[in-house]
Amino acid sequence: MLFLNTNSLRNKIYILLILIPLLLISDQLQAKETKLLILGDSLSAAYGLKQEQGWVSLLQNAWQSEDIIIINGAISGETTDGALARLPRLLKQHSPTHIFVELGGNDGLQGHPVSKMRNNLEQIIQLSQKSEVIVILQQMQIPTNYGKRYTQMFTNTYADLATKYELTLLSFFLENIALDKSLMQRDGIHPNAEAQHIIAKDMQKTLGDIIFP
């Protein structure tokens, strides 16, 4: 004859009924964790400065009270080619909810074909959206001495892609800073430590409006 301990069985069922909802809530909270991946070049990599002086680190500090993790995937000298090659690993490793794309400046400065840059940016956008990542694109600028036709094609690429893929297009964050020599490093290309605070404050507002609507 088989005897069942009904009290023990009842207790186990009771524990399971408590644990299952808790596990489901935990999974939901984990799934909602906000992660922002910065995919950029030296302008986001604190070039010429300590990492903690860069706008990305300053933004993370400003958002300490917010439930968000910022992954800085920016590399000095990065082109759209290099970023596209790195993106699959970054998406798999970090599972971001948002990606801020600050790329193309080095492509332009090196005179790469705009069509190639555009194709790379499109693939970056497509890969991100395929992984259900919200893409935020930044307008980039290059000096006008690259010729009117090349410069215009370069500039138009960003608005075209933003329209095609229904993205938020942010203004170039050095648009006003670059005009003030006191905010730039000696090379005249990279923002100095003081400028990083201005960028961080601006990005806190512009990115914050998108990430925390």
Q: How many CA atoms lie within 13 A of 208 on its CB side?
A: 14
All structural domains of the chain with their residue ranges: 34-211
Helices (H) then strands (E): counts for the chain: 7, 5
- Say whether pLDDT at 9 is over 60: no
Q: Is the dihedral of CA 138, 98, 126, 164 positive or negative?
A: negative
Could you give the residue numbers annotated as active site?
42, 187, 190
**Mean pLDDT computed over 192-196:** 99
Give pLDDT tens digits for 53-93: 999 999 999 999 999 999 999 999 999 999 999 999 999 99
Report which of residues 2 and 209 the model is more confident about: 209
Over residues 101-129, mean pLDDT: 99
Instruction: Check if CATH label 1.25.40.10 holds for domain 34-211.
Output: no
Question: Quick one: pLDDT at residue 11?
Answer: 58
Count of beta carbons in the 10 Å neighbourhood of residue 175: 10
Q: Which residue has the tokens 């395929």?
A: 130
pLDDT for the residue 5 = 60
